[in-house]
Structure formats: structure tokens, C-alpha cells
Amino acid sequence: MSNELVISSTQKGDRIALLQNKRLLEYHEEELDSSFTVGDLYLGTVKKLSSGLNAAFVDVGHEKDGFLHYQDLGPNVNSLNKFVKDIIAKRVTTGRLNGMKLEPEIEKIGKIDKVLTKNAPILVQVVKEPISTKGPRLSCDISIAGRYLVLVPFSDGVNLSKKITDRAERSRLIRLMSSIKPQNFGIIVRTVAQGKDVEELDRDLQNSLDKWEQAVKVLAEAKPRDRVLGEMNRASSILRDMLNESFDSITVDTRESYDEIRNYIHTIAPEKEKIVKLYNGKTKVFEALGLEKQLKSLFGRSVSLPGGGYLIIEHTEALHVIDVNSGNKSNSEEDQEATAISVNREAAKEIARQLRLRDMGGIIVVDFIDMKKQENKKLLQDIMRDEMKSDRSKFTILPLTKFGLMQITRQRVRPEMNIVTREVCPTCGGTGTIQASVLVTDVIENNLDYILTRQNERGVSIAVHPFLHAYFTKGFYSRQIQWYVKYKTWIKLVKDSSLGIVNFKFYNKSGDEIEVGSGA
């Protein structure tokens, strides 16, 4: 099984695609200077205490105050609050907690107004990004995630991932981490730490301690609403969590991203540094690797299955509904039960992929094709659980009901990814009647003439739909050749499947878009 990461940098931010065996598995769009990312630390101010909700609303600079529930305070919030006040007052100047006497832990079931006071400064971490009309979900149980370990300030235990099942390995890791962890810091050992030697684990621990120390330095000078520590970008986060021996390619299309990713991999896994590649092709990297086409086909309401079946995916305010249909598959199997289990198997694999791809969260109800045999129902649940075991989000899968419905809950910490897969005609605006589409070629040539003769631009390129690209380049004496003869300069044509069939964009030699009358 091969894993590949493709990163395309645009003026708005980065587009990140994770591929497994050449098939799109995860897709992210990361805006430049995006704030309130999961893992970010902010210096907030307690604005309101709600005894009914047993929660506080904290101002961290978002238009909606962040939500902090009592259960998310963490047992050592009193130690954290005392430390924050000491740092702001300059009574403490370091993030090292050696010799610090921790405050008593708060009650597991208590009242928020006994712990926090209105208008007090508070250090919080984003655990759920702002979604829809809600502000960010916050926590005071601070943690700094590394590759092998998670560092927990103001704690003192060593905990291991439940997925580490070997008793001897668990004992080794607990003994090892207890010997190297600093005072008043807790450690959570991640699954990927299995088999790693003390040198690698200690290096990861020191990197996390350095991050914490950096955050404390920023905190000393911070004003309310300031971000104290930013989580690494989405691409580095994926690499931190997933980089292993099956990762064989990381492709980026800018020198800046190439250097950044290469330096990060040199820090966490030097032996993998050579898998980073800089793409220099003429077409966009997503276009060249066929990812634009995959995106268009995978984010629609209807998703095809390999054997002829298909899924219908509907989104409502309360939940997501997925309907499994057999399509023309119903004619190819001997009996109905065989058809049902065959289509349901394929559907389970695709649904697990779609949940990650769209980052769907909350309640998901799947209407599988009805099966009569109980062993087949149990098998389907096992298949679904097996397909989702590599999902980094927490999830729960319930058995099929007697109506053939499977209920899944999946943790969502970011807004759901949605890509428009149906193109609205730019001429008619969706009314259903348009000017003859062939006229778009005249519009392009008129704009081109204006740009070359009136604005005296050189090194011009035009991004067009593949159909238009074929029209302008076909034949020995193509339109593109005719332009060269007429204007004495070569006009570069770039295929771009993300554009509508009658859309186009002009770019200058620096790669900046040229504003034109229509089509862009």
C-alpha cells in the first residue's frame, strides 16, 4: 500500500491531497494565515459564565466567543491559571516547570463558577474549529503533539495508546518515558512509538518542550486575543501523524513548500527526505496527476461504485444520509442475498473513504441493501470497522437495525469539505438558455488582441477547459500557430478541468491573473 501527498500552492493558500494507491483519500484546502486551527493556543478572556451549561464563553478574537465546558478544563486548570498569571506578571520567565508546586486538582463533577472568574485571562487550546454559526470549542487541558509523543504540561503521568497491545513493549515504553520525562509534564505515547529507541523518543520530546518554551515566551508579551502558539500547517500535520515506511512520494509545486517540507522531514524522519519531489511541469500538478477529475467525480451527490452500484449522499442540518443502490449489479448475481452482500461490501469501502474525504462528522445513517442472513449483517459491520480503522478521527459504528440501517458517529473538528461539482453556465446564470457556446472563442481572441496590442503584454498564457484547449491546438495550422504568426509571440495554453467549458483566465509572464471583460 503506497501513500502519496500532493501539495499545490495557490494565491489563496494550499490545496493538499492524500492519495492511497493513486486514489484520493483525503483533501484539504488551507487558507493563508488561517486562524483557529485545531491545536492553536490563544490567550483569551473569560466573558461569560453560564451555570446552566456549566461552561464559559471565552473571547479569543473570533466573531463568536469560544465555548469552554467544565469537562474540558482539565484536572490541573488551577495550576495552569496560576502559571499564566505568573508569566504575565513576569514572576516566572521560563516554561520549565521543575520545582513548581502544582495546585490541587479540581473536582471531576463541579461548577465552572468555582474555578473561573469573569474577565480573567486564560490560556486555551482550540479543539474544534468554528463551524457554521458556532465559535471554536476550547480546552484548558493543554497538549503539544509530536510525532511519537504528546506532551501534557501540569501533569505527571505516562499513558500509552490503547493500540499498543504487546505487554513487553508497553512495559518498555512506560519505563523509558518515566526515566526521561521532565518534572510536572505528562506524556502520552502514540502508537507509532512502538519499537523506537530512546534517542528518537527523546529528540521528539525535546522538540515538543522547545515548542512549549516558545509559547511561554510569546505569552509573556501577549495581549488578550493573541495567538500564543500556532499548530503546524495541515500538510506537516498529516506527515507527523501518518509518515511511515509506506509513504513513498511527496510532490510540491513551489520551491518554498519544497524547502519547508524537506526541512520538516529532515527533523522527524531524515531517511525519508529523498521522497520529497519538486514538480516543474507545464500544467498544474493537480491537473497532471488527474486529481481535478477525481475531485469532480467524488464530491457529487451521486458516487459510482466499481461493480455498477452507486451511493446517494444527502446532507441535512441534523445528520448525513447515505443510500446504497445496486444499479445494474442486480442482474449479474444469482440471488438477491449475493447481490446485496456484494454491493454492500463495495459500498462500505467507498463510504469509509467518503467520510474521510469530505470530513463528514456527527451522525451518519447508511441505508444498505437489505440482507436476510444475520452472519452477513455481522460481516458488513466488521468490514466497515476494518475500513475505518485507519481514520484519524474518533468514530463509533452500531450494528445494522432490522430495517438495514447502520448508524455511525464520527468526530468532526473542522468544517466539512465541500466542492461544487455542478457547473452553472456563466452566461445564463442557470436560467437554461445561453448564447451559442462557440462564441467563447471570439471572446477569448478579442481579449487576447486587446492584451497584446493595447497593453503590450508578453509571455501571456491562457487557462481553458480541455475542450477549448483541443479546439485551439488541433491541426497543423492551429489557432495557436495562427496567433504566433499574427502577434510574433507564443501564447501558452493550459488545460484546467476546474474551469467551466466557457470559462477562461489570462495570466501574465509572472503568473498573475490579468483582469478581462468576461470568462474569468
Burial status of residue 42 (CB atoms within 10 A of its CB: 0-12, 13-18, 19 or more):
buried
Band of pLDDT at residue 170, cut at 50, 70 and 90: very high
Distance (Å, whole) CA 189 – CA 169: 12
pLDDT recorded at residue 358:
86
Band of pLDDT at residue 72, cut at 50, 70 and 90: very high
Walk across the sheet containing 185-189 and list its strands.
144-145, 149-153, 185-189, 158-160
pTM as predicted: 0.67
Lowest mean pLDDT among 70-84, 89-103, 241-255, 370-384: 241-255
At 327-367, the pLDDT tens digits run 765 554 557 888 889 999 999 999 999 998 888 888 999 99
Residue 416's CB is within 10 A of a number of other CB atoms, namely 14
At 4-53, the pLDDT tens digits run 889 888 777 788 888 888 888 888 887 766 677 888 899 999 999 999 99
Average pLDDT, the chain: 86
Q: Which CATH architecture has domain 40-229?
A: Beta Barrel (2.40)
Give SS3 for 479. helix
Give SS3 for 33. coil
Any idea which fold 3-33+234-291 has? Nucleotidyltransferase; domain 5 (3.30.420)
pLDDT recorded at residue 292:
86
> What is the C-alpha radius of gyration for the chain, rounded to an integer number of angstroms?
27
CATH code, residues 300-410: 3.40.630
At 292-309, the pLDDT tens digits run 888 887 888 888 888 888
Torsion, Cα of 203, 207, 212, 214 (10° steps): 140
At 465-494, the pLDDT tens digits run 888 999 999 988 899 999 999 999 999 999
C-alpha cell at 161: 495508546
Give SS3 for 372. coil
Give SS3 for 156. coil
| Helical (H) or strand (E) element with 336 | helix 336-358
pLDDT recorded at residue 511:
85
Q: Span 71-80, mean pLDDT?
A: 93
Contact of 421 with 296, CB cutoff 8 Å: yes
250: which strand partners? 5, 276
pLDDT recorded at residue 1:
66
Contact of 492 with 504, CB cutoff 8 Å: no
pLDDT recorded at residue 520:
44
C-alpha cell at 398: 452500531
Residue 506 backbone zone (phi > 0: left; psi -120 to 50: alpha; other: beta):
beta
Strand pairing of 492-495 and 504-507? unpaired
Give SS3 for 47. strand
Give SS3 for 219. helix
